[in-house]
């Protein structure tokens, strides 16, 4: 009996070791992608009439990222595509391809081998349900309007021109489409001789339809695919969700304070109709959605306040009422200290203040009281103070307790800030020589280069000098940015698909200007080289 148990254990171990497949150790690492051994039906078949496609490989494969697979023309009921050992099976279970069309199943870089993850680049399977394979194509690139960088994973769609309306992109799937690669390039192949409307968009929700919140690019020309068609260049931009000066919301949460949320408040006036005394301020927000604040010290919280809103297109009135026992907006004072020897000290308030007497401000050099050479009220929300600072000295500024009363009759609490003045040796100087003829509607900016954002250091609108000297630059990296201000309104404007307006072009010079402390850097740049067509 004991001998039988021993024999059983040995057989079990032997069978287990035989069944387990282990990748051999050592040897040359496999760096080659899988090879295709056969297709059934053949790739680029005509008169296709099959429910299944089988593609066989020379090794075990997997589909790493199914989202990369694109079938064009669009099939609402996609075929089932799966990897099984050394082959890929494609099954048309719910719907079959339409007649007399050329289809492309683009796998992109989704197919890899199992062991090493080597991928097949840009693999596609093509077939025609008609008598020939369509051979026309459309190719091009897409860059971001604001960054001038290539945009990857943008869906580029073609819609039949004879069936296209203003609502097509929102309701219907594109007839043919692809996605841009990492370099922003795209190609839609195997197209028929037909006329199309081209639209590209960031398909954020993956539904293959354009949504108003998604960035888009378009061309105003009708696309007629052909062999040797010139490459297209498209600019991706954020379509405006509203018209300028559009009132989006109102807030009457705080006592005597009324807020109006407005999209691009470029030319809008908001004023109360029942009171003459009020204070207005604008708080900048994201995506051009700003908040206009109106402070009415003498308003009556028990009644509706009426406001007249005037824009170039319309004029209307609305009524707002704050809740009883609502609280005042919090009084916040911020003292911004200078970054270099020529900067001003800025005092900013969230609540309007009629005045802040200089006598109630303590300004010290170390412990010695000093009087600023410049002190001015910019608005009821901001004051500027300046003094010729001595290098590498400690300064402090303080608003004394009860230094002022805001418009709601509240005294301030003591607030202070301190800083050590910089030395001229902490900064660099840029001697900029600009050459070349450019458009007379160009805006040129010197920007500080940062990974997350860009800061405008200097700006020239239209009248761009040939030579200029810029002092007090922090050590770091800088770059020139050019905006082609088509409408000459002094700012960059995005596009508008409804009006068929393209976004204004932005160009970045490739030269990175490195500023070092206590160095004079001379840089010559040909502005004509910035603009790329």
Same domain, 81 and 101: yes
Cis peptide before 41 (omega within 30 of 0): yes
CA gap 55, 87 in Å, rounded = 5
| Burial class for 25, CB neighbours closer than 10 Å (0-12, 13-18, 19+) | exposed
**Nearest in space to 407 (alpha carbons), one of 236, 230, 257, 186:** 257
Instruction: Give DSSP secondary structure letters for 407-441.
Output: TTS-BPPPEEEEEE---GGG-EEEEEEEES---TT
CATH number for the domain including 361? Answer: 2.60.40.3710
Does 327 reside within a domain? no
**Nearest in space to 109 (alpha carbons), one of 182, 17, 6:** 182
Does 31 reside within a domain? no
The answer to whether residues 123 and 111 touch, using CB atoms and an 8 Å cutoff, is yes
| Burial class for 370, CB neighbours closer than 10 Å (0-12, 13-18, 19+) | exposed
Same domain, 498 and 459: yes
The Cα-based distances of 391 to 337, 388, 398, 417 in angstroms read 15, 9, 21, 18
Does 8 reside within a domain? no
Same domain, 395 and 476: no
Q: What pLDDT, on the 0 to 100 scale, is given for residue 451?
A: 75
The greatest distance separating any two alpha carbons of the chain, rounded to the nearest whole angstrom, comes to: 109
The answer to whether residues 261 and 289 touch, using CB atoms and an 8 Å cutoff, is yes
What total of structural domains would you count in the chain? 5
CA dihedral 157, 162, 168, 172 (to 10 degrees): -70
Same domain, 433 and 523: yes
309-335 burial, b for 16+ CB within 10 Å, e for fewer? bebeeeeeeeebebeeeeeebeeebeb
> Domain span at residue 58?
36-128
Q: Which of 209, 236, 263 corresponds to the end of one domain?
A: 236
Same domain, 431 and 410: no
Tokens 């020589």 belong to which residue?
433
pLDDT tens for the chain, 533 residues: list them.
Answer: 444 444 444 444 444 444 443 444 555 677 889 999 999 999 999 999 999 999 999 999 999 888 889 999 988 888 999 999 999 999 998 888 999 999 999 998 899 999 888 999 889 999 999 999 999 999 999 999 999 999 999 999 999 999 999 889 998 899 999 999 999 999 999 999 999 999 999 998 888 899 999 999 999 899 999 888 889 999 999 999 899 999 999 999 999 999 999 999 989 999 999 888 999 999 999 888 999 999 999 988 778 999 999 999 999 999 999 888 899 999 999 999 998 888 999 999 999 999 999 999 999 999 999 999 999 999 999 999 999 999 999 999 999 999 999 999 999 999 999 999 999 899 999 999 999 888 789 999 999 988 778 899 999 999 899 999 999 999 999 999 999 999 999 999 999 999 999 999 999 999 999 999 999 999 999 998 888 64
Q: What is the pTM of this model?
A: 0.81
Does 142 reside within a domain? yes
């Amino acid at each position: 009996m004991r001998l039988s148990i021993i024999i059983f254990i040995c057989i079990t171990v032997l069978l287990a070791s035989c069944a387990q497949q282990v990748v051999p150790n050592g040897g040359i690492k496999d760096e080659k992608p899988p090879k295709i051994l056969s297709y059934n039906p053949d790739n680029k078949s005509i008169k296709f009439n099959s429910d299944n496609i089988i593609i066989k490989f020379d090794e075990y494969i997997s589909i790493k990222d199914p989202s990369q697979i694109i079938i064009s023309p669009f099939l609402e009921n996609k075929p089932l595509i799966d990897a099984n050992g050394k082959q890929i099976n494609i099954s048309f279970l719910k719907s079959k391809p339409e007649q007399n069309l050329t289809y492309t199943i683009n796998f992109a870089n989704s197919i890899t081998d199992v062991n090493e993850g080597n991928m097949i680049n840009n693999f596609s399977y093509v077939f025609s349900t008609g008598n020939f394979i369509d051979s026309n194509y459309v190719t091009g690139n897409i860059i971001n309007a604001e960054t001038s960088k290539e945009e990857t994973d943008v869906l580029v769609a073609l819609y039949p021109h004879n069936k296209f309306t203003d609502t097509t992109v929102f309701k219907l799937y594109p007839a043919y489409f692809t996605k841009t690669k990492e370099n922003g390039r795209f190609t839609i192949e195997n197209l028929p001789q037909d006329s199309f409307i081209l639209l590209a968009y960031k398909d954020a929700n993956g539904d293959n339809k354009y949504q108003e919140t998604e960035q888009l690019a378009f061309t105003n020309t009708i696309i007629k695919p052909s062999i040797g068609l010139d490459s297209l260049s498209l600019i991706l931009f954020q379509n405006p969700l509203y018209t300028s000066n559009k009132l989006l919301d109102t807030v009457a949460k705080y006592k005597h304070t009324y807020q109006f949320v407005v999209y691009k408040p470029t030319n809008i006036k908001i004023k109360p109709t029942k009171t003459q005394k009020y204070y207005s301020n604008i708080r900048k927000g994201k995506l051009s959605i700003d908040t206009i604040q109106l402070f009415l010290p003498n308003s009556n919280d028990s009644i509706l306040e009426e406001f007249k809103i005037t824009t170039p297109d319309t004029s209307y009135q609305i009524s707002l009422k704050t809740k009883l026992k609502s609280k005042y907006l919090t009084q916040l004072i911020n003292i911004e200290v200078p970054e270099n020897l020529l900067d001003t000290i800025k005092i900013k308030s969230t609540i309007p203040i009629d005045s802040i007497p200089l006598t109630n401000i303590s300004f010290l050099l170390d412990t010695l009281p000093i009087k600023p050479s410049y002190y001015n009220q910019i608005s009821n929300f901001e004051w500027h103070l300046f003094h010729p600072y001595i290098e590498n000295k400690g300064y402090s500024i303080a608003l004394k307790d009860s230094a002022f009363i805001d418009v709601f009759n509240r005294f301030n609490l003591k607030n202070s800030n301190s800083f050590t003045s910089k030395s001229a040796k902490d900064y660099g100087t840029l001697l900029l020589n600009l050459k070349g003829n450019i458009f007379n509607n160009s805006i040129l900016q010197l920007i500080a280069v940062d990974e997350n954002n860009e800061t405008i250091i200097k700006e020239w609108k239209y009248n761009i000098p040939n030579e200029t000297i810029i002092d007090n630059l922090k050590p770091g990296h800088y770059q020139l940015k050019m905006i082609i201000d088509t409408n000459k309104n002094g700012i960059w404007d995005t596009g508008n698909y409804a009006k068929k307006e393209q976004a204004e072009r932005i160009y970045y010079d490739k030269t990175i200007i490195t500023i070092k402390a206590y160095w004079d850097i001379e840089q010559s740049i040909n502005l004509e080289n910035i603009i790329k067509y």
